Amino acid sequence: MESAEPDHAKAASFGVFAMDPETTLRELARHLVVGQGEIADLARRAHIVRALRAINGDLSSTLAEWDGIQQRWVTERLPSLIAAMKLALEVYDTFGPGMTRIDEPIDAGIWNNKYFVWERELSPAFAKPDRLD
């Protein structure tokens, strides 16, 4: 006998999209502020270490590690945060405030995929042109 209640396990297997854009934007903004603060702190420390390198000897591995963290921020974390913010803004602009839930598998898949497309588009790591004219 078919139940009148939606089969959540079946919906999850096909994908569901759900988001409260206002809450999401606030949380993403917090991550952005904290992350950028961490990067700024690392940059200040790296500047001091570079200035003291002549006194302390070879600190290239520490500096390389910090440079790697900064590079990952620019190529991975920042594009991820901005893509998620862009998605939250589109959800808000399309559906308004409050929780949005899309159970229809194709529509949910489209909304779920937008983040990954935008993350890739926003990452300098993928900034290669498709073709050269």
Is 115 within the bounds of a domain? yes
Q: Give pTM, 2 decimals.
A: 0.75
pLDDT at 133: 53
Residue 132 lies in a domain: no
Domain membership flag for residue 5: no
pLDDT under 70 in the chain at which residues?
1-14, 54-57, 128-133
Measured in degrees and rounded to the nearest 5, phi and psi for residue 102 equal: -120, 115
pLDDT at 128: 67
Total domains in the chain come to 1
pLDDT at 1: 36
Residue 53 lies in a domain: yes
Identify the pLDDT of residue 15. Answer: 87
**129 three-class SS:** coil
Domain limits for position 59: 16-126
